[in-house]
Amino acid sequence: MSKSACASPSGVDGAADRTGWEAVLDLRLGLRGGRTVLTERGHRGPLQVQRPFYPEGATAHVYLLHPPGGVVGGDQLSIHAMSEVGSEALLTTPAAGKFYRSEGALARQVITLEVAAGAALEWLPQETLMFDGARLDSRLNIAVEEGARFIGWDLIGFGRPASGDYFNSGAGQFRVAVRQSGRPLLLENFPADAEFLQASWGLRGGNAMATLLATPFDKSRLGEVHALLQDDSDFGATLLDELLVVRAMGSSLLAVRERFEALWTLIRPQVLGQKACPPRIWAT
């Protein structure tokens, strides 16, 4: 078990401003008639889903939509997905999540994923973009039962340097919790601000960081992951029991994303027993 606890970066220690939009999405995925379907779908505010796509047979590809296209201070997003026994689903988004400059209010995002024994769930959203001055409290909670299969990632970019937009102010608090049958596998509380981007103990002048998680992962296959990442010192992989944890940082979020897609292609057959089938929306 790995635990990390850090103090909040400057300005990210209060509750979200209740004057913003509150959006809630609650999904339940189950196996019906030989394929995975949405057995329950509840939403409030600007969070929705399209009907599932089936590019690889029984596995449902579900696109999560946020029509406003961006989040400002005071907004709150809450996403909950439960995968029932036997279900197989991939959740993604059609575009990057954008968090805009705040005048002081805190935006909040809470994602809770539950995977039953015998179910498979992939959480592969497109990247999160933190614009200059954004203030975000982001929480990713993953609960898997023994015998469940899971792959997920979190891709975060600060500013848009290619457009001359730099992350000079603002802050984010990124919390990740992975539990298996109630037992903690990974607990993190990770602050990030403009100082972190420049510090030698942070991104060292970069603007992108990412984490990939997968379970159960066979220890004998860890060498293949290291081989894929060996030419880049900004990537690292470790195994916590059967949880694969891969971390990355860099100056190009696109390069990090491409490497993670290659890694996903490598590990998906071992973790899920299926070849990689990229969602069509990734190509648009």
pLDDT in tens, 191-206: 999 999 999 888 999 9
Q: Each residue of 108-143: pLDDT tens digit? A: 999 999 999 999 999 999 999 999 999 999 999 999
Q: Which of 282, 277, 269 is nearest to 59 (CA)?
A: 277
Are the C-beta atoms of residues 148 and 111 closer than 8 Å to each other? no
Instruction: Write down the pLDDT at residue 19.
Output: 65
Task: Name the pLDDT band for 18 (thresholds 50, 70, 90).
Answer: low
DSSP 1: -
pLDDT of amino acid 13: 46
Nearest Cα neighbor of 279 from 25, 63, 30 is 63
Residues 228-263 have pLDDT tens digits of: 998 777 999 999 999 999 999 999 999 999 999 999
Residues in the chain: 284
The conformation of residue 273, written as its DSSP 8-state character, comes to S
Of the listed ranges 26-30, 157-161, 274-278, the least confidently predicted one is 157-161
The stretch 6-14 carries a mean pLDDT of 41
Tokens of 239: 């195994």
Contact 76, 29 (CB under 8 A): no
Q: What is the pLDDT of residue 164?
A: 82
> pTM higher than 0.85, yes or no?
yes
pLDDT above 90 covers a percentage of the chain that reads 83
- Closest by alpha carbon to 93, among 255, 257, 259? 257
Q: Give the tens place of pLDDT for each residue, 211-229.
A: 999 999 999 999 999 999 9
On whether the CB atoms of residues 128 and 155 are closer than 8 A, the answer is yes
Kindly state the tokens that stand for 110.
Answer: 């809470």
Instruction: Assess whether pLDDT exceeds 90 at residue 3.
Output: no
pLDDT at 8 over 50: no
